[in-house]
Amino acid sequence: MSTVIYTEDNKWRTFSEDGDDGGDSGEIDLDSIDWGSMDSVEGGDNYYESIDWGETDWNDFNWSNDATTESIDWGEIGWDEFDWEDPESLTAFDWGEIDWSEFDWSGEGADALAIDWGALEWADFDWADDESLEDIDWGEIGWDEFDWEDAENVSAIDWGDIEWSEFDWTGKAADASSVDWGDIDWVEFDYEDPAFDKSFKWSGVDWQDFEWDQDAAKIDGIDWGDINWKDVSLTAPKGSTSDYQQIDWDSVNWEELDWSGKGSDASIIDWGEIDWTDIDADAADEIDWGDIDWKDIDFTGKGSDIAAIDWGNVDWEELDWTGKGSDASVIDWGEIEWTEIDDAAADEIDWGEIDWKEIDYTGDGSDMEAIDWSAVDWNDLDWTGKGADATQINWDSVDWEEVPLDNPEVVNSIDWTHVTLKDQDNIDLIGQETGSAFEDLASL
């Protein structure tokens, strides 16, 4: 291997390892070069152009000598001469000592285009030195050159120190499309920084990059409450999937979301596009069910949202039960999977706000068969008046064997004068269990 050295007579001479250079020999020490005079020698020649930078042995360079590193014009180095496929030739390079402000970042023949950014040792950078990092144009880095499977090198980058406003977020060749978002350490972001909130475009994140089962530690670093949900796509071009389809909703930290108020996360998220099969009991505990927009939910059809929701995991106490536009008035109670409602959930339901007209009363597997009548709070029901619950319920479809009629409190909570029965078996059963003839109960 050969290298070059700037000598006292302003001439560049090439030395080979065996000293065969016409008389000069010996080991070349790059630190002995007067780098400051490289482009100001007699005649005005720029001797940076005379060096074969790909053959330079950077092991001879004293990287700890600030006077030396600061005197080099890093923008004049022929970066296209480096052998980027030979990692060993680059190991001696200390990328953190380069003055990036001297770089030509854009245009034809730019330094940034010549560098293989995936070959850099990112651990060399002093990430605490914001001033030096400000000189890097992060939008001109070749993100497609990174080896994203090199976890050590990728993790050496402090992603919170990247200037995201310089990023190209859209388009086929966008920087964002080259980044493997699943390999980023999300905990390094300053989510409270208004500059980050303004410059980072969540629409550019490819959620498909995440390995949801394996990247739990990294995913936990995402502040889901600081995501701009307006940027998360509901639709996708033909043949691809939307952001909503790519996100594992069970991995979302729902407690971080802003649930209430105008413009809240809950008001922006399209709850009808959530994959409810992802939501387990732990995730359900973090969701504020009262702030879900139930109008988003698809209550009908095969594979609908309503079929995917585990109704036993819903915190019914959080729902808005009364008033115009309440949650209870929007939910289609005939599409609820009543077999998933246990006693604890039944205690939280306001049975008087259920629209009993929506209930399926007939056939095998009907709602009336699925409801656990022992768990119904009869005191909740509206017994009288126009449109009262009592006038909407098909009382013969109630499973009276499940109603604890041996309990006086239950018997007294039912307004029997508004219970209409035609099935004699039900009439006889009620009389037998209560010890009073149905006619007598109905006349009280």
The single-letter DSSP state of residue 244 is: H
SS3 letters for 283-321? HHHHCCHHHCCHHHCCCCCCCCHHHHCCHHHCCHHHCCC
Q: Distance of alpha carbon 362 from its chain centroid, rounded?
A: 44
Could you report the per-residue pLDDT of 291-302, keeping only the tens digit for each? 999 999 988 765
Give dist(CA 168, CA 170) in Å, integer. Answer: 6
Give the pair of three-digit tokens for residue 134: 């400000």
The single-letter DSSP state of residue 323 is: S
Give the pair of three-digit tokens for residue 239: 């043949």
The single-letter DSSP state of residue 63 is: T
State the virtual CA torsion across 433, 436, 437, 441 in degrees, nearest 10: -110
Please list the helix, strand and coil fractions of the chain in percent, rounded to the nearest 5, in that order.
45, 0, 50
Q: Are 135 and 143 spatial neighbours (Cβ–Cβ below 8 Å)?
A: no
What type of residue sits at position 33? I
**Exposure letters 106-144 (e unless 16+ CB within 10 A, then b):** eeeebbbebbeebbbbbeebebeeeebbeebebbbbebe
Q: Are 161 and 126 spatial neighbours (Cβ–Cβ below 8 Å)?
A: no
**Structural domain boundaries of the chain?**
1-93, 106-247
pLDDT along the chain (444 residues), means of 10: 45 45 43 57 56 73 77 84 79 85 85 89 84 86 91 91 91 87 92 92 92 84 93 82 92 94 92 92 94 90 76 95 92 92 94 94 84 96 92 95 95 94 94 90 76
User: Closest Cα to residue 436, out of 408, 402, 398?
Assistant: 408
According to the model, what pLDDT value does residue 92 have?
79
Task: Give the position of tokens 């250079």.
Answer: 21
According to the model, what pLDDT value does residue 2 have?
44
Give dist(CA 158, CA 187) in Å, integer. Answer: 10
Judged by phi (left if over 0) then psi (alpha if -120 to 50, else beta), residue 415 lies in beta
Strand partners, 276: none
